[in-house]
A and B are shown apart, each in its own frame.
Chain A
Protein backbone atom coordinates (compact mmCIF):
# COMPACT_ATOMS: atom_id res chain seq x y z
CA UNK A 1 0.00 0.00 0.00
CA UNK A 2 0.82 3.72 0.22
CA UNK A 3 1.75 4.31 -3.40
CA UNK A 4 2.27 7.75 -4.86
CA UNK A 5 2.49 8.27 -8.60
CA UNK A 6 3.69 11.20 -10.66
CA UNK A 7 2.88 12.02 -14.23
CA UNK A 8 4.66 12.55 -16.47
CA UNK A 9 7.89 10.86 -15.45
CA UNK A 10 9.82 13.12 -17.79
CA UNK A 11 8.99 16.01 -20.04
CA UNK A 12 10.84 18.16 -22.55
CA UNK A 13 9.33 21.51 -23.45
CA UNK A 14 10.20 24.72 -25.19
CA UNK A 15 11.06 27.85 -23.30
CA UNK A 16 7.98 29.95 -22.58
CA UNK A 17 5.51 27.09 -22.40
CA UNK A 18 3.76 25.79 -19.29
CA UNK A 19 4.08 22.29 -17.91
CA UNK A 20 1.74 20.54 -15.48
CA UNK A 21 2.96 17.76 -13.19
CA UNK A 22 0.49 15.56 -11.36
CA UNK A 23 1.01 13.85 -8.03
CA UNK A 24 -1.51 11.22 -7.00
CA UNK A 25 -1.91 9.11 -3.89
CA UNK A 26 -3.25 5.85 -5.30
CA UNK A 27 -4.50 3.98 -2.25
CA UNK A 28 -4.88 6.56 0.48
CA UNK A 29 -6.13 10.07 1.02
CA UNK A 30 -3.46 12.71 1.41
CA UNK A 31 -4.38 15.74 3.46
CA UNK A 32 -0.96 17.24 2.82
CA UNK A 33 1.44 16.97 -0.07
CA UNK A 34 4.91 18.40 -0.36
CA UNK A 35 6.71 19.44 -3.53
CA UNK A 36 10.48 19.16 -3.65
CA UNK A 37 13.00 20.07 -6.32
CA UNK A 38 16.39 18.50 -6.88
CA UNK A 39 19.22 19.88 -8.98
CA UNK A 40 22.01 17.55 -10.11
CA UNK A 41 24.23 16.53 -7.22
CA UNK A 42 22.20 18.67 -4.82
CA UNK A 43 19.78 17.98 -2.02
CA UNK A 44 16.04 17.78 -2.44
CA UNK A 45 14.80 21.26 -1.57
CA UNK A 46 11.27 21.90 -0.35
CA UNK A 47 9.36 24.19 -2.68
CA UNK A 48 5.91 24.27 -1.12
CA UNK A 49 3.42 22.56 1.15
CA UNK A 50 0.06 21.78 -0.37
CA UNK A 51 -3.00 21.23 1.80
CA UNK A 52 -6.24 19.98 0.32
CA UNK A 53 -8.75 22.75 -0.19
CA UNK A 54 -6.47 25.62 0.76
CA UNK A 55 -3.71 27.68 -0.75
CA UNK A 56 -0.24 26.24 -0.86
CA UNK A 57 2.48 27.56 1.42
CA UNK A 58 5.63 28.40 -0.50
CA UNK A 59 9.17 28.40 0.79
CA UNK A 60 11.19 31.57 0.73
CA UNK A 61 12.58 32.24 -2.72
CA UNK A 62 10.02 30.14 -4.57
CA UNK A 63 7.83 32.22 -6.87
CA UNK A 64 4.21 31.29 -6.29
CA UNK A 65 3.10 32.83 -9.59
CA UNK A 66 5.60 30.73 -11.47
CA UNK A 67 5.02 27.44 -9.68
CA UNK A 68 1.26 27.10 -9.37
CA UNK A 69 0.08 24.40 -6.99
CA UNK A 70 -3.46 23.11 -6.83
CA UNK A 71 -4.56 20.47 -4.32
CA UNK A 72 -8.16 20.08 -5.41
CA UNK A 73 -8.83 16.65 -3.96
CA UNK A 74 -7.49 14.32 -1.31
CA UNK A 75 -5.69 12.24 -3.91
CA UNK A 76 -4.35 14.78 -6.37
CA UNK A 77 -2.01 17.75 -6.28
CA UNK A 78 -0.69 19.46 -9.38
CA UNK A 79 2.36 21.63 -9.93
CA UNK A 80 2.30 23.87 -12.99
CA UNK A 81 5.53 25.47 -14.10
CA UNK A 82 4.39 28.55 -15.98
CA UNK A 83 6.43 30.18 -18.74
CA UNK A 84 9.21 27.67 -18.22
CA UNK A 85 12.82 28.67 -18.79
CA UNK A 86 15.96 26.54 -19.04
CA UNK A 87 16.85 27.33 -15.41
CA UNK A 88 13.64 25.55 -14.37
CA UNK A 89 15.05 22.29 -15.68
CA UNK A 90 15.22 20.03 -12.67
CA UNK A 91 13.88 16.91 -11.00
CA UNK A 92 10.56 17.53 -9.23
CA UNK A 93 9.43 15.11 -6.52
CA UNK A 94 6.22 15.09 -4.52
CA UNK A 95 5.41 13.37 -1.27
CA UNK A 96 2.05 12.67 0.31
CA UNK A 97 1.10 12.49 3.95
CA UNK A 98 -1.84 10.44 5.08
CA UNK A 99 -3.93 11.85 7.89
CA UNK A 100 -2.81 10.58 11.27
CA UNK A 101 0.27 8.86 9.88
CA UNK A 102 3.71 10.32 10.40
CA UNK A 103 5.31 9.00 7.25
CA UNK A 104 5.73 10.72 3.91
CA UNK A 105 5.29 8.59 0.81
CA UNK A 106 7.23 9.79 -2.18
CA UNK A 107 6.47 9.74 -5.87
CA UNK A 108 9.11 8.59 -8.38
CA UNK A 109 9.78 12.13 -9.57
CA UNK A 110 9.39 14.07 -12.80
CA UNK A 111 12.38 15.17 -14.79
CA UNK A 112 11.80 18.45 -16.61
CA UNK A 113 14.04 19.70 -19.38
CA UNK A 114 13.33 23.14 -20.82
CA UNK A 115 15.01 23.90 -24.12
Chain B
Protein backbone atom coordinates (compact mmCIF):
# COMPACT_ATOMS: atom_id res chain seq x y z
CA UNK B 1 0.00 0.00 0.00
CA UNK B 2 0.86 3.66 -0.05
CA UNK B 3 3.36 4.90 2.50
CA UNK B 4 5.40 7.94 3.43
CA UNK B 5 8.80 7.93 5.10
CA UNK B 6 10.30 11.08 6.56
CA UNK B 7 13.41 11.70 8.56
CA UNK B 8 13.09 11.21 12.25
CA UNK B 9 13.64 14.07 14.59
CA UNK B 10 13.96 15.93 16.64
CA UNK B 11 15.87 18.42 14.55
CA UNK B 12 17.45 21.32 16.39
CA UNK B 13 18.78 24.30 14.46
CA UNK B 14 20.03 27.75 15.23
CA UNK B 15 18.10 30.71 13.91
CA UNK B 16 18.90 31.53 10.25
CA UNK B 17 20.21 28.01 9.56
CA UNK B 18 19.22 26.06 6.46
CA UNK B 19 16.56 23.42 6.91
CA UNK B 20 16.00 20.19 5.03
CA UNK B 21 13.51 17.56 6.09
CA UNK B 22 13.62 14.52 3.84
CA UNK B 23 10.47 12.79 2.68
CA UNK B 24 10.08 9.85 0.31
CA UNK B 25 6.94 8.03 -0.68
CA UNK B 26 5.71 4.76 -2.10
CA UNK B 27 2.55 4.84 -4.16
CA UNK B 28 1.17 3.62 -7.42
CA UNK B 29 0.15 6.18 -9.98
CA UNK B 30 0.52 9.88 -9.41
CA UNK B 31 -0.40 10.96 -5.89
CA UNK B 32 -0.59 14.51 -4.65
CA UNK B 33 2.01 15.41 -2.05
CA UNK B 34 1.67 17.67 0.97
CA UNK B 35 3.53 19.14 3.88
CA UNK B 36 1.50 19.92 6.99
CA UNK B 37 2.72 21.78 10.05
CA UNK B 38 1.46 21.48 13.60
CA UNK B 39 2.30 24.27 16.01
CA UNK B 40 2.06 23.52 19.74
CA UNK B 41 -1.53 23.16 20.87
CA UNK B 42 -2.96 23.61 17.38
CA UNK B 43 -4.32 21.43 14.60
CA UNK B 44 -2.43 20.46 11.48
CA UNK B 45 -2.24 23.23 8.90
CA UNK B 46 -1.49 22.80 5.24
CA UNK B 47 1.91 24.32 4.54
CA UNK B 48 2.30 23.54 0.86
CA UNK B 49 1.40 20.98 -1.75
CA UNK B 50 2.25 19.72 -5.23
CA UNK B 51 -0.06 17.74 -7.44
CA UNK B 52 2.18 16.58 -10.28
CA UNK B 53 5.78 15.74 -11.06
CA UNK B 54 8.23 18.65 -11.04
CA UNK B 55 5.73 20.95 -9.38
CA UNK B 56 7.21 23.10 -6.63
CA UNK B 57 5.06 24.01 -3.68
CA UNK B 58 6.04 27.05 -1.64
CA UNK B 59 4.73 29.02 1.31
CA UNK B 60 6.21 31.16 4.11
CA UNK B 61 9.72 30.63 2.75
CA UNK B 62 9.36 26.85 2.67
CA UNK B 63 9.70 24.93 -0.58
CA UNK B 64 9.35 21.35 -1.76
CA UNK B 65 9.62 19.88 -5.26
CA UNK B 66 7.72 16.80 -6.41
CA UNK B 67 10.45 14.46 -7.74
CA UNK B 68 8.91 11.42 -9.31
CA UNK B 69 12.23 9.89 -10.36
CA UNK B 70 13.37 9.75 -6.74
CA UNK B 71 9.85 9.55 -5.24
CA UNK B 72 10.75 12.41 -2.95
CA UNK B 73 9.26 15.65 -1.66
CA UNK B 74 11.93 17.15 0.59
CA UNK B 75 11.04 20.26 2.58
CA UNK B 76 13.55 23.12 2.58
CA UNK B 77 13.86 26.60 4.00
CA UNK B 78 16.84 28.85 3.57
CA UNK B 79 16.74 30.62 6.93
CA UNK B 80 14.65 29.28 9.79
CA UNK B 81 13.19 31.37 12.57
CA UNK B 82 12.26 30.51 16.14
CA UNK B 83 8.61 30.76 15.10
CA UNK B 84 9.14 27.81 12.72
CA UNK B 85 9.47 25.46 15.68
CA UNK B 86 6.75 22.87 15.15
CA UNK B 87 6.11 19.31 13.98
CA UNK B 88 6.16 18.83 10.21
CA UNK B 89 4.26 16.03 8.48
CA UNK B 90 4.75 14.82 4.94
CA UNK B 91 1.66 13.25 3.39
CA UNK B 92 0.20 11.96 0.16
CA UNK B 93 -3.27 11.65 -1.27
CA UNK B 94 -4.66 9.77 -4.21
CA UNK B 95 -6.44 12.92 -5.33
CA UNK B 96 -5.79 16.58 -4.71
CA UNK B 97 -6.69 16.52 -1.04
CA UNK B 98 -10.31 15.49 -0.81
CA UNK B 99 -9.43 11.90 -0.02
CA UNK B 100 -7.82 10.50 3.13
CA UNK B 101 -4.18 11.34 3.63
CA UNK B 102 -1.34 8.94 4.27
CA UNK B 103 1.09 10.56 6.67
CA UNK B 104 4.71 10.20 7.63
CA UNK B 105 5.58 10.01 11.32
CA UNK B 106 6.30 13.70 11.64
CA UNK B 107 9.53 15.54 12.34
CA UNK B 108 9.83 17.87 15.29
CA UNK B 109 11.84 21.00 14.57
CA UNK B 110 13.21 23.20 17.31
CA UNK B 111 14.85 26.48 16.36
CA UNK B 112 16.91 28.21 19.01
CA UNK B 113 17.87 31.86 19.05
Contact = CB atoms under 8 A, between A and B. Distances in A.
Interface of A: 4, 6, 32, 34, 36, 41-46, 49, 93, 95, 97, 101-109
A46 B4 contact: no
Interface of B: 4, 36, 41-46, 89, 95-98, 100-106
B100 A49 contact: yes
Contact of B100 (A41, A46, A103, A106): A46
A82 B98 CA distance: 29
Given A43-B104, A44-B103, A108 B43 contact: yes
Contacts of A45: 103
A102 to B, nearest CB: 4
A43 B98 contact: no
Main secondary structure of the interface of A (DSSP, over half): strand
Nearest to B36: A106
B98 A97 contact: yes
B106 A103 contact: no
B44 A93 contact: yes
A4 B98 contact: no
A9 to B, nearest CB: 8
A103 B4 contact: no
Given A43-B104, A43-B105, A93 B43 contact: yes
Contact of B101 (A4, A6, A46): A46
A102 B100 CA distance: 11
24 contacts: A32-B98, A34-B100, A36-B103, A43-B4, A43-B102, A44-B103, A46-B100, A49-B100, A93-B44, A102-B95, A102-B97, A103-B97, A104-B97, A104-B98, A104-B101, A106-B36, A106-B43, A106-B44, A106-B45, A107-B43, A108-B41, A108-B42, A108-B43, A109-B43
A4 B105 CA distance: 22
A34 B41 CA distance: 20
Contacts of A49: 100
